[in-house]
Chain A
Amino acid sequence: MMKNQSATAVSAAKAAGRNALDESAGKALLAGYGIRVPQSRVAKGVADVDAVMQGLQVPVVVKVMSPDILHKSDAGGVKINLRSATEVKAAIEGMLAAPKIKGARIEGFLVEEMAPSGHELVIGGLRDPQFGPLVMVGLGGIFVEIFKDVSFRLCPIARIDAEEMLDELKAAAILKGARGGKPASREAIIEVLLKMGGEDGLLLKHAADISEADINPLIVSETGAVAVDARFILG
C-alpha cells in the first residue's frame, strides 16, 4: 500500500468513529512507509483457510480481528507456531469458543507468517499536547516495562538522533551481542526509527490523527527488522 492510500485508511478509520486501527490496517500503514511486516492474509472463517494458506510460509500465527478486543493474547485470540491448514482451522475453532471472544464482533482472522528469531524491540510514538509527536525506542519485555529503559526524541529526528537514542539505552550492549548473543542490525533499527520519526516519517505525517503508536515487538535479527505487531490509537 502506498503512503497516500494508507493515509486514506487512517482517515477512513477515524471517520468510521474508531479509536484504533485494527492490526491489519496498522501493518498496512507501516508497510506504506517501507517498514517490513510479516506476509499475512485475512480468513473470514474456517472455510477460507485453505485458500489463505496458499503462498504463506509456515509456521504461521493466527490472530483474531475484532474492534472489541484490544488485548488479543489475554482474550485467547492469538495462536502461534501453526504448521498446517489443519492446525490453523483448529486454532480458529478454538478461538470462536473462547469466552472472551464468543460475544465480540469478529471481522476475521489474521493468518500471518512468523518472524524469524531476533531481539525484541519496541518502537513507538506519542503526541504531546504542547510539543507534538515524539518517537521512542526501547528493548521489549522487562526492559521497557520494569526498567523504563527507553529513549525519546521529538519528531522529526535525524540519523544522528536515532544513533544517540540507541546509544543511550542502558541495554545497548545487548543489541551489540553481549553475553554471547547475536547482535541486532543497528542499521535496520535506525531505518525503522527514521521511517517512524523522521522528516517524512509516519508520526509527523499523521500527527493530526494518531495520538499513540506502538510497534511491539519489532523483531530485529542480524540482517533486518520486522514489525510483528502494531497498535495505533487514533484521536
Chain B
Amino acid sequence: MSIVEQFTPLFAPKTVAVIGASTKGNALPNVFIRRIREFGFSGDIYPIHPAAAEIDGLTAYKSLADTPKPVDYAYIAVSGAQIPGMLAAAKGHVRFAQVISSGFGEVDEGKGLQDELVQAAKAGGMRLLGPNCLGIYTPRGRVTFAEIGPKETGPVGIVSQSGGLGTDIIRRGLSRGLKFSGLVTVGNCADVTPSDLLEFYLADPQTRVIGMYIETAKDGRRLFDILRKARASKPVVILKGGRTQQGLAAAASHTGSLAGDDRVWVALARQTGCMLVDTLDHFIDTLLIFQTLSPRPQRPTRKVVLFGNGGGTSVLATDYFSRLDLDVTPFDQGPIDALAALKLPPGTSITNPVDCPVGTLQQDDGRVAEKILDIICGQGKPEALVMHLNLSAFVGRTKPEVLDNLVAAAMRVQEKYPGQSHFILVLRSDGEPALEARKREFRDKAVALGVPVYDEMANAGHPLAALASFERYRAARGG
C-alpha cells in the first residue's frame, strides 16, 4: 500500500469514533463532535461510552470493536490508564487512534503507561497519534479540532509536535491567507512521528509545501534519509524547538523530548535544502511565500527591487535585505534613463530602491505606478520585486481606489512579464483599527491572486531569503 493510501483514512476519514464524550455534552470530545459537524463532516460519528445509549443525538457504542463500520479515525480524550485496554479491544477495527490525553511519556511516572499504550495500539492493529496532543485539522476530510480555520483545502501540509502551536498555525494562517492540505498534532510521537507525516506530505499531490514543528526526532536518521531522498522536491520548513540548553529542558517536560545536538539541525538543513526558522512568525511568513510563489531554480533570486513610499523605510530595508544576502543594487543606466524620462515629481528616487512619495503614486489615479513598474520589470529585470505601501500615508490624501489601482497595475505588469520577478507586497500600517480592517481586506484579495503579503519589510526579507536559498540549493544540485 502506498504511503498516501496508508494515510488516507486519517486525512479523509469516512468514520470517526469519539471516546470521552459525556451525556451532559460539555466534555472536550463533545466539543470535537460539534466542531466536525460544523466543519461539514458527512461520514458516520460513533461516540464510544460504557453505559449511554446516545450522546449528542448519536447512537453510542460500548467499545471500538462494536461500531457498525470499521473506524478510520478515533479521537480519544479520557484518563490515560483506561486507554490501552480500549485500544487492544479494537482488534483490527480501527485504522488511526489519536490520544489527546496527557500524563504519558512527558512525565516520569507516565513512561510505563506510554509503552503500554504503544503495545496496545499494536495489538489492536492501528496506528497511534500522540498521546499528549490536540487532534487533526484536515479540510479535505472535514475534520478539525480547532475552533476556526480555513474551510478550503490548500497546499500547506503541517505536522506539529505541539497542539497549542498547531492551533496558532491554523488561526494565524487563516488571517494571513494560508491554506492547508492538513495539520496533524503528534505530541509525544509514541508511534506516528513527524517523519511519517513528512513522507506522506512529500507523496501527497495536494501538498506543495511542508511545515514541521519538531521538538525531538527520535528517528533522526530516518528523517535525514527521507529528506535526502526527496532532493528538495517540495520545500520543507522546520521550526525546531529546543535549540538551546534551556529550550531543551523545556522541550523535555513539554513532550518528553530527548536532548539533541543543534549542530545536527544546521547540518541537516544545509545538506537537504530544508529551511530552519526560529520563530512562529518566520515559519508562517516562509510557508506563505512558498504557497504563493513558485521557486525558480533556473534563475535563483538575488537581485531585488524595492518600490514604494517611504524613504527611510527603503534605506532600512536595503540594509536588512543585504544582510540576508539579497542584492538591492542601483539600476544600470538604461532603466534609470527610462524612469527619468517619466519626469516624476521631485522627491522621487529612481535608482533602486525606487522611493515614490504618495504624490507620485497617486498621479493619474495610480496609473503612473504602472509605467514605473513596467520599466522596473521590463528593463531592470530583478528576480524579485517588493512593493511596499505605507497605508497611513494614503489616508485622507487619495481616493480609496488608488490602492486597488496600484495592486491592479502591479498584477498587469506581472502578466506582461511572466516568470520575470517574484512579486511581494508589504502593506504597512500603524495599528489604527480602520486602517487594519482595510489592510486585511486588501491582503485577502492579494493573497487570493497569489501575491504574498507582509506587514513590514523585515517580515518579507526572511521568507524571500529562504526562497532564494531553496532556489540556490535546487540549482546547485541539478534540481
Q: Range of interface residues on chain B?
A: 20 to 34
* B261 close to A (CB within 8 Å): yes
> Are the CB atoms of A161 and B271 closer together than 8 Å?
yes
Residues of B within 8 A of A153 (CB): 267, 270-271
Which of the residues A134, A151, A161, A168 comes within 8 Å of B264, measured between beta carbons?
A134
Within the assembled complex, what's the spacing in Å between the Cα atoms of A132 and B218? Answer: 11
Tell me which residues across on chain A come within 8 A of B224, comparing CB atoms. Answer: 131-132, 154
Residues of A within 8 A of B260 (CB): 128, 130
* Least Cβ–Cβ distance between A193 and chain B, in angstroms: 13
Q: How far is the CA of A199 from the CA of B264 in the complex (A)?
A: 18
Check A130 against B263 for contact (C-beta < 8 Å): no
Mark contacts of A108-151 with chain B using CB atoms, 8 A cut-off: 1 yes-contact digit, 0 otherwise. Answer: 00000000000000000000111110100000000000000001
Contact with A along B30-49 (1 / 0, CB 8 A): 00000000000000000000
Chain B residues numbered 415-438 whose CB sits less than 8 Å from any CB in chain A: none
Q: CA–CA, A160 to B271, complex, Å?
A: 9
Contacts A152-B266, A160-B476 given; does A131 touch B220 at CB 8 Å: yes
Main SS of the interface on chain B?
A: helix
B-chain residues with CB within 8 Å of residue A131 when the two chains form the complex: 217, 220-221, 223-224, 261, 264, 268
Query: When A160-B476, A161-B271 are in contact, do A132 and B266 touch as well, CB less than 8 Å?
Result: no
**B337 in contact (CB, < 8 A):** no
Who on chain B is nearest to A136 by CB?
Answer: B263
B219 interface residue per 8 A CB criterion: yes
Q: Could you tell me if B221 and A130 are in contact, using CB atoms closer than 8 angstroms?
A: yes
Q: How far is the CB of B148 from chain A (nearest CB, A)?
A: 36
Chain A residues positioned under 8 Å from B216 (CB to CB): 130
Q: In the complex, are the beta carbons of A154 and B267 less than 8 A apart?
A: yes
Q: How large is the interface on A (under 10, 10 to 19, 20 to 34, 35 or more residues)?
A: 10 to 19
* A134: B residues at CB distance < 8 A: 263-264, 267
Return the CB mask of B248-267 against A: 1 if under 8 Å, else 0: 00000000001011011011
- Expressed in whole angstroms, the Cα–Cα distance for A153 and B270 within the complex equals 8
Smallest beta-carbon distance B252→chain A, Å: 14
> Cβ of A128 and Cβ of B477 under 8 Å apart?
no
- Please measure, in the bound complex, the distance between the C-alpha atom of A211 and the C-alpha atom of B218, giving whole angstroms: 18
Contacts of B268 in A (CB 8 A): 131, 154
CB distance B263 to A152 under 8 Å?
Answer: yes
Q: Determine whether the beta carbon of B258 is less than 8 Å from that of A130.
A: yes
A130 near B270 with CB under 8 A, answer: no
Nearest opposing residue in chain B for A150, CB measure: B263
Bound Cα distance A165, B131 (Å): 39
Min C-beta distance of A145 to chain B, whole Å:
16
How far does the alpha carbon of A153 sit from the alpha carbon of B224 in the complex, in Å? 11
> Is A164 among interface residues, defined by CB-CB distance under 8 A?
yes
Query: Would B221 and A132 count as touching, CB distance under 8 A?
Result: yes
Q: Closest residue to A126 on the B side, CB-wise? A: B261
Shortest CB-to-CB span from A189 to chain B, Å, is: 17
Closest Cβ–Cβ distance, residue A207 to chain B (whole Å) = 10
Contact with A along B114-141 (1 / 0, CB 8 A): 0000000000000000000000000000
Contact with A along B446-477 (1 / 0, CB 8 A): 00000000000000000000000000000011
Give B contacts to A, CB under 8 Å. Answer: 216-221, 223-224, 258, 260-261, 263-264, 266-268, 270-271, 476-477
8 A–B contacts from the bound complex (CB under 8 Å): A130-B258, A131-B268, A152-B267, A153-B270, A154-B267, A157-B271, A160-B477, A161-B271
With A134-B264, A160-B476, A161-B270 known, 15 other A-B pairs at CB within 8 A are A128-B261, A128-B264, A129-B258, A130-B217, A130-B219, A130-B260, A131-B217, A131-B223, A131-B261, A131-B268, A132-B224, A152-B266, A154-B224, A154-B264, A154-B267
